[in-house]
Amino acid sequence: MPFINVIRGEAIPTAPFNVRTPVVRLPVWLVMFWSAVKGLAWMVIGYFRFWWITLPSSGLLWMYAAFDWQGPTFTVLGVAVAATIWNLGNRASFLRFGWYPILARFRRWTYRRHWQAAMVTAKLSVSYDGQTVLPVLQRVRCRPGTDLVLVRMVTGQIPDDFGHVSERLAHTFGVRQVKAMPGPTFSTVLLAVLRGDPLVKLVPPFPVTGVPDFMALPVARQEDGEVFDLRLFGTQVLVVGATGAGKGSVIWSIVRALAGGVGTGLVRLWGLDPKGGMELGIGLPLFDRFASKDFAAQADLLEAAAAETQRRAARLMGRTRQHVPSLGEPLIVLVIDELANLTAYLTDRHLKDRIKAALGIVLTQGRAVGVHVVACLQDPRKEVLPARGLFPTRIALRLSESNEVDLVLGDGMRDRGALCDRISETAPGVGYVALDGDPTPMRVRFSYLTDDEIRDMADIYGRVQVIDGDAA
């Protein structure tokens, strides 16, 4: 046993004055009076705070007092009839200003009931100074099938902390999915709570416009009910999906959005179908050039695209940074079904090198000069397509494994909600896309064209073509 104990550290000095709260004995009537005043104050505050319940209730009570039971009955009936007329007359404004605000109040109340449990079990609560600090539920807004919940984070938290536990939150709140994205201020996170699924139903083809808007081609329906517009200008598009995921519907949705331009000659489609023309052959008249039977013809076609790219780049150098399609120099879109057949599975080394070189030129230089690629791929691994990074726009449909999601859409996208590996086999055409300026992925379903619809479209907008090197 040591003779003297020495404890290192800073001791808290004893205060020179110690003050103890004095005990004042109060009469019972004063305590009761004070409690009554406090209770009344709480009731008044509660009345105004929960005005959306208290005001209608007071109104109904007053009607009852004034007109007996007919008062509230006719009031409720009158409100119901007015709401129905408003809904039938202008559904959008009824939902926006009538129904969704009421629903949001109710939902806020239900979230609050589960809030503490949800935050603690998801480890989003923080222990500080002997206290448990929770993120603050600030606001709830309702949209079709989705609630937008604004949350003020605890100091030190970031939106990705919520993204990592989004699945846990979804189970706690009993909803389909929760997606976390940065809120309007640095201290907030916006949780998109997805309830119903508007993508269960098949999406019919969108109408064809005479002059396509290359900045916004309508191709799919978003899970928030909006139309997903694909930007083709300035980009190359890669579509990845397991077999049967619906890559064909992505191709035909894009072709349909461009069909008006094909008809007028503003857009030229060049088709490469290494699987023998099974997918693209059905709309053959739409393609200005088409190659499917032998790989040499497909290499020729890609080299022609590369040559055109270089010719345009040389002409436009120093003049403009974005080519504007015209009848003399139309937009060329190379549609490639199963790119891996051209890049990875091809055994002829010489052809493979030719294809790789031509594709490299088109992918790196083509987007500024109006030569675009829309390519499909089943297997997103690096060995299959090393040039994945050359496709700025990537669409991920159903994938076989969870780790493929980040390979296609970019790091962290699965955590942010792109659950491509969970898409059901019974939902072909459903996938995830990254929207411009939005770090969270959006779930979409591409429109579906039947074979007859594709044939009709080809009949209306089809052009003279070159098939496997020969004029049709």
Closest distance of CB 378 from ligand ATP, Å: 6
Q: Annotated binding residue at 320?
A: no
Q: Annotated binding residue at 396?
A: no
Q: Annotated binding residue at 462?
A: no
Closest distance of CB 278 from ligand ATP, Å: 7
Q: Annotated binding residue at 307?
A: no
- Alpha helices by DSSP H, listed for 157-276, are 159-164, 166-173, 247-264
Q: Annotated binding residue at 429?
A: no
What is the C-alpha separation between 180 and 154, in angstroms, rounded? 15
Nearer to ligand ATP, 312 or 445 (CB): 445
Q: Annotated binding residue at 472?
A: no
What is the C-alpha separation between 279 and 412, in angstroms, rounded? 33
Residue 443 backbone phi and psi in degrees, to 5: -85, 135
What is the C-alpha separation between 217 and 237, in angstroms, rounded? 13
Nearer to ligand ATP, 221 or 354 (CB): 221
Closest distance of CB 174 from ligand ATP, Å: 28
What is the C-alpha separation between 59 and 43, in angstroms, rounded? 17
What is the C-alpha separation between 328 and 310, in angstroms, rounded? 17
Give the interface with ligand ATP as residue ranges (CB under 6 A).
202, 241, 243-249, 378, 428-429, 445-446, 448
Nearer to ligand ATP, 417 or 428 (CB): 428
* Cβ pair 307, 244 in contact under 8 A: no
Nearer to ligand ATP, 165 or 444 (CB): 444
Residue 412 backbone phi and psi in degrees, to 5: 80, 0
What is the C-alpha separation between 41 and 461, in angstroms, rounded? 73
Closest distance of CB 250 from ligand ATP, Å: 8
What is the C-alpha separation between 194 and 418, in angstroms, rounded? 13
- Which are the contacts of 56, defined by CB distance < 8 A and separation ≥ 6? none
- Residues in a beta bridge with 188: 152
Closest distance of CB 333 from ligand ATP, Å: 18
Q: Which of 169, 149, 410, 235 is nearest to 420 (CA)?
A: 410
Nearer to ligand ATP, 245 or 266 (CB): 245
Nearer to ligand ATP, 173 or 446 (CB): 446
What is the C-alpha separation between 209 and 440, in angstroms, rounded? 30
Q: Annotated binding residue at 179?
A: no
What is the C-alpha separation between 351 and 419, in angstroms, rounded? 37
Closest distance of CB 247 from ligand ATP, Å: 4
Q: Annotated binding residue at 248?
A: yes
DSSP 275: T
Nearer to ligand ATP, 388 or 463 (CB): 388
Closest distance of CB 398 from ligand ATP, Å: 8
Beta strand spans in 96-135 (E): 126-128, 131-133
Closest distance of CB 450 from ligand ATP, Å: 9
Nearer to ligand ATP, 361 or 423 (CB): 423
* Cβ pair 135, 154 in contact under 8 A: yes
Question: Which residue number places its CB atom closest to ligand ATP?
Answer: 429
Residue ranges of the annotated binding site for ATP are 241-248
Residue ranges of the annotated binding site are 241-248
